[in-house]
Amino acid sequence: MTTLETKTSRMPKSKRDYSPAARIFLLLFFTALAILVMIPLIAMVLGTFKGGAEMWRSGLNLKPEFQMWSLDYWRYLFTGITVDGELLPHKYFTWFGNSLMITVIQTVLSLFISAFVAYGFEMYHFKGKNAIFLCVLMEMMIPFEILMLPMYVQANAMGLLDNMWGIMLPFLASVSAIFFFKQYLSGLPKDLLDAGRVDGCNEYSIFFRIILPIMGPAMSSMAVLVGMGAWNSLLWPMLVLTSMDKYTLPIGLNTLFTPYGNNYDLLICGSCFAILPILLIYIFAQKFIVEGMTAGAVKG
Amino acid sequence: MQKVKRILYSQKIAPYVFVLPFVLTFLVFFLYPLTTTIKMSFQDILPGQEQWVGLKNYQRLLTDKVFGQAVFNSLRYMVITCALLIPFPMLFAYMISSRSMKFAGAFKSIYFVPVLSSVVVAGLIFRMMFAEQPDAMMNSLLALFGQPAIWWLKLEYPSLLALVLLCCWRWTGMNMLYYLAGIKSIPTELYEAADIDGASAVQKFTKIGWPLLKPTTIYVLTISIYAGLAMFTESYMVFGNNASPHNYGLTIVGYLYRYGFEKLRMGYASAVGLALLVGALALNLVQLRLTGTIGKRGDK
């Protein structure tokens, strides 16, 4: 019995081996694929050193053209001093700040509210529960794009246009987060509730004091998913926001798509810099991103 | 006051308090807009006045050639992206998850990086790689084969290629992750048994991998159908705005956006949105029925 156990514990996830020739082929194949995947990013990074004028002249390509390289375009992004040495202030970091603020607020509120709702769905039996949960599934099934027009009319009627809260409010009770948290909570013993009640907790302090603190892993997975969505979101913020000072980063970058002034310098460096925060989180929290994003596909 | 508090804290009422944030959001930002858009689709709306017109908007949809083109474009994009983004990520995931595969973790990390990019940044990169200048990447590629430079984004199939490649670049890594999660859940005993029976790698895939990955495939197919049919921002970014030459990049949601937000004909735009909703739901119901996920319970 013990020998069998040690044997299975040494077993890899799936027992499939390839011949040496196949191994080399696969290694080459996946290396080629990795290079293909990296090409657009390499072209972008090269572009940040070649500058906007060059991008206007010849698009993005993989020619290094070291003689053109300059850090002036990055300097313009950070200091507002253009390649020609003039001071030409831009709004990139206003947008960056707006995006950062919206991302943080939306992530925190959305996780909290979604966990709150998921707890209600998972831990209680109540009249109408199935009907309400059906609504969660229905909302998951209908793409946002179909409802963007009436949602816009609604936001307008509520005075939420050109307002940070107008961007966030419709998505605070996030159905995918509710669904994920509900799955997570279903793995917890229901005795926790009764133990809490015996200890004198009321229904809400059970959630706040007992359940919320043990939801850390699930929260981290959803945090990156919700945060990434908020950071990268384009369509709804573009409909809601009208004044330039309130723009989020994706909308702001989109307005730079005209080769006017030093726009292209800012666009290429700014686009590159916009990926950076997410890339950093990805490097340090890859596991959580992967878990959060595949949450819908695997049950249990 | 004390009485209200006692009711709110009772075990009977508490669950409703927990799910309240969702119910409110659902009513205000989902159900109400949905009924508004259904209502508007039977109306002719001009700023300040609305008029009931019965089925006129829907009748017009049936004879609208441009709408027909938008439907065709969206369907074509959906079919192509499904045909590329299901089998290939599945095969890649299957091949990379073998224990004799070296550097699998590094490869997976690289393939996932495009998922982190926003549609704005990805759109910028692809637009500039497919730019018309002879030095831009895709034209340089043509030059390698002795072909003259073309205006990629002004031609039907070249611009479709740009959109499809953009989609593949962003989502191959994501779909691979879904499949990797599915592969993890296949019991290793099955492969051991297959080894004893002397099955080849191809047989192991067709007899074990493919059938057991069916749930993952259905999930990926379902979200791909929705995402493909509701595609809009990719086209918006690649073409620079919602007006692509000869409507080559016009999608159903693009048409909704054109009428709802550019021409302010909200009644007609609502009809477009609802047609898309019904079409997408119907297509996925057929798909789920054909793949045996719903209905036909006795067969298994």
Chain segment A140-187, per-residue pLDDT in tens: 888 889 999 999 999 999 999 999 999 999 999 999 899 989 988 988
Residue A14 is predicted with a pLDDT of 46
A74 shares a domain with A150: no
Are residue A274 and residue A176 in the same domain, yes or no? yes
* SS3 of chain B: helix, strand, coil, percent, to 5: 75, 5, 25
Which site among B128, B167, B293 would you substitute to test the A interface, given the most A Cβ atoms closer than 10 Å to its Cβ?
B128
Query: A-chain residues within 8 Å CB-CB of B187?
Result: none
**Above 90 in pLDDT, residue B24?**
yes
In a domain, A85, yes or no: no
Q: Distance between CA atoms of A102 and A97, rounded to whole angstroms?
A: 9
Are B99 and A14 inside 8 Å of each other by CB? yes
Chain B residue closest to A232 (CA)? B118
Q: Could B30 and A268 be called an inter-chain contact, meaning their C-beta atoms sit closer than 8 Å?
A: no
User: For residue A20, which amino acid is it?
Assistant: P
For residues B199-226, give the mean pLDDT.
88
Asked if residue A206 belongs to a domain, the reply is yes
Q: Are B166 and B276 in contact (CB under 8 A)?
A: no
Mean pLDDT of B123-133: 93
Helix ranges (H only) for B185-251 are 188-196, 201-204, 210-212, 214-229, 233-239
A170 compared with B11, residue with greater pLDDT: A170
At residue A11, the pLDDT reads 41
Q: Which of A79, A101, A125 finishes a domain?
A: A79
Q: Are residues A247 and A165 in the same domain?
A: yes
pLDDT bin (cut points 50, 70, 90) of residue B300 is: very low
**Whether residue A10 sits in one domain with residue A100:** no
B43: helix, coil or strand? strand
CATH number at residue A269: 1.10.3720.10
Coil, strand, or helix at residue B46? strand
Asked if residue A87 belongs to a domain, the reply is no
- Which ranges of chain A does DSSP label H, i.e. alpha helix? 2-10, 20-50, 52-58, 72-79, 92-123, 129-141, 144-157, 164-168, 175-185, 191-198, 203-205, 216-232, 235-240, 249-255, 263-293
Nearest to B191 among A16, A178, A272 (CB): A16
Distance from CA of A158 to the nearest CA of B (A): 10
Q: Which stretch of A96-110, B77-91, B173-187 has the lowest confidence by average pLDDT?
A: B173-187
How many residue pairs bridge chain A and chain B with CB atoms within 8 Å of each other?
305
Q: Which residues in chain B have their CB less than 8 angstroms from residue A129's CB?
A: 15, 19
Whether pLDDT at B181 is above 90 = no
**Mean local confidence (pLDDT), B276-287:** 91
Instruction: Find out whether A138 and A250 touch, Cβ atoms under 8 Å.
Output: no
**Would you list the DSSP string of A79-121?**
H-B-TTS-B---SHHHHHHHHHHHHHHHHHHHHHHHHHHHHHH
Same structural domain for residues A279 and A153? yes
Residues A150 and A274 in one domain: yes
Contact: A120, B34; criterion CB under 8 Å: no
Is A203 part of a structural domain of the chain? yes
In a domain, A270, yes or no: yes
Do both A106 and A217 map to the same domain? yes
Closest by CA position to B280, among listed B217, B228, B218:
B228
Q: Is the pLDDT of residue B118 over 70?
A: yes
- Taking contacts as CB-CB distances below 8 angstroms, the residues of chain A near B18 are 116-117, 119-121, 124, 207
pTM score of the predicted model: 0.89
Structure tokens at A235: 């369509």
* Residue A184 counted as domain residue: yes
Stated as kind and residue range, the H or E segment containing B7 is helix B2-8
- Predicted confidence (pLDDT) at residue B17 exceeds the cutoff of 90: yes
pLDDT bin (cut points 50, 70, 90) of residue B45 is: confident
- Residue A84: inside a domain, yes or no? no
A162 and A253, same domain (yes or no): yes
Number of domains within chain A: 2
Can you tell me the ipTM of this complex?
0.89
Tokens linked to A175: 């159905």
Are A96 and A141 part of one and the same domain? yes
Q: Is pLDDT above 50 for B80? A: yes
Residues of chain A with pLDDT under 70: 1-17, 295-300
Same structural domain for residues A11 and A142? no
Q: What is the mean pLDDT of chain B?
A: 90
The answer for residues whose C-beta is within 8 angstroms of residue A107's C-beta and 6 or more apart is: A223, A226, A227, A230
Domain ends where: A57, A79, A101? A79
Q: Which domain holds residue A29?
A: 3-79
The pLDDT, as a whole number, for residue A120 is 94
- Whether residue A86 is contained in a domain is answered as no
A188 burial (CB, 10 Å; 0-12 / 13-18 / 19+) is: middle
d(CA A194, CA A204): 13
Give the span between the Cα atoms of B155 and B246, in whole angstroms. Answer: 9
> B14–A145: do the CB atoms touch at under 8 Å?
no
Buried b (16+ CB within 10 A) or exposed e, A263-285: bbbbbbbbbbbbbebbeebbeeb
Which of A45, A79, A113 marks a domain boundary?
A79
Average pLDDT over residues B11-37: 93
Q: What domains appear along chain B, each with residue ranges and CATH number?
A: 1-40 (no CATH), 55-291 (1.10.3720.10)
Are A44 and A159 part of one and the same domain?
no
Q: Are residues A9 and A155 in the same domain?
A: no
Nearest to B181 among A34, A173, A294 (CB): A294
Does residue A25 belong to the interface with chain B, where contact is any CB pair within 8 Å?
A: no
> What part of A 153-172 touches B (C-beta under 8 Å)?
153-154, 169-170, 172
Nearest to A60 among B99, B128, B256 (CB): B128
